[in-house]
Amino acid sequence: MGSLLSAAQRADLYDAENRWAADDDFFLTFINERPASRVLDLGCGTGRLTLALARAGHVMTGIDPHPGSLAAARAKPGADLATWIEGTSTDLGCDDSFDAVLMTSHVAQAIIDDHRWSRTLADVRRVLVPGGRLVFDSRDPLARVWERWTPATTRNEFTLPDGTKLHLWIDSAPHEAGLVKITEHRLFADGSREMEDAVLAFRSEQQLRKDLGEAGLHVDAVFGGWSGEPVGQGAGELIIVAHR
C-alpha cells in the first residue's frame, strides 16, 4: 500500500522534521576548512546542506536514491549551483573525483546490509583524491537513544506548505542484532492514518573503525558530539573523520 502523501508532500514533511541544526553547522564548518573543495553529499536528501555548501563556494554534487527528494532539491533556490544524481554510490562514474565526501543525517545507519555498507565505503575511497576526507555521523549504540524514541517524547504537529495538517510520533524496538526498527505514525486532520517502518543499523565505534580500515580509509578522529566532545559525551554520536 502506498503512502497517503505524495512524493512532494513527503519531501515537504522531511524538511519540516529536519531543520538546520548543530550537525549542519558542524559539517559546514568542516568543509569550509578547505575553500572551494569538490564535495560529494552522499544521501543528500532534499539538498539543505548541499545548497548551503554551494553558496559557500564549494563545487557540490548531491546524490540520493529517492526521486522525490531530488525533485525537491532541484526546485530550491540556487539548485543550479550543484550537480544532482539520482542513485547511490554505485552510480558514481569512473572519472568522478572529490576532495571530500559527506554522509549526514545518519545516512550511514540507513545502509543496513553489511555488503552494501562495505561497497559504499569502497566507492567513497575510489572517488576521493589522495588525502581526501570522509566525514559522517552514526549514533553510538552505547547511548541507546532508541529507548527515548517513544510517542510521548516524539509527538509533533506539522502543517505542510499545501495546508495538509498531520500529527506525527515515533516508536522503536530492537529488531535484530545491531538493528533497530523505527515506526513513524501519521494521523491526518480527516482522521486517516498511516505508518511507515524503517530499520537502522547501530554500529559500534570499533566496528566502524574496522570497516573503514578494510576499505583503505584512515580514521583521524571520532567525536561524541557536535562541539567535538569525546565519545560517550555530547549528543550520543559517533562522528567519524577519515581520509584516503
User: Which residues have CB under 8 Å from 176's CB, separation 6+?
Assistant: none
For residue 189 the three cell numbers come to: 486532520
Per-residue pLDDT 10s for the chain (244 aa) are 679 999 999 999 999 999 999 999 999 999 999 999 999 999 999 999 999 999 999 999 999 999 999 999 999 999 999 999 999 999 998 899 999 999 999 999 999 999 999 999 999 999 999 999 999 999 999 999 999 999 999 999 999 999 999 999 999 998 888 999 999 999 999 999 999 999 999 999 999 999 999 999 999 999 999 999 999 998 999 999 999 9
pLDDT at site 212: 98
Q: In angstroms, rounded to a whole number, what is the distance separating the alpha carbons of residues 126 and 203?
A: 23
The Cβ-side half-sphere exposure at 169, using a 13 Å CA radius, reads 9
Does the pTM of the predicted model rise above 0.85? yes
CB 83 within 8 Å of CB 117: no
CB 236 within 8 Å of CB 23: no
User: Which letter does DSSP use for residue 1 in this model?
Assistant: -
SS3 readout for 104-130: CCCHHHHCCCHHHHHHHHHHHHHHEEE
pLDDT at site 123: 98
Backbone angles phi, psi at 67, to 5 degrees: -60, -35
3-state secondary structure of 89: helix
The beta strand positions in the chain, using DSSP E, are 38-42, 59-64, 82-86, 98-103, 128-139, 156-159, 165-176, 179-188, 193-201, 218-223, 237-243
User: What type of residue sits at position 159?
Assistant: T
Q: Angle at the Cα of 242 (from 241 to 244), degrees rounded to 5?
A: 155
Among residues 211, 232, 233, 209, which one has the least CA distance to residue 221? 209
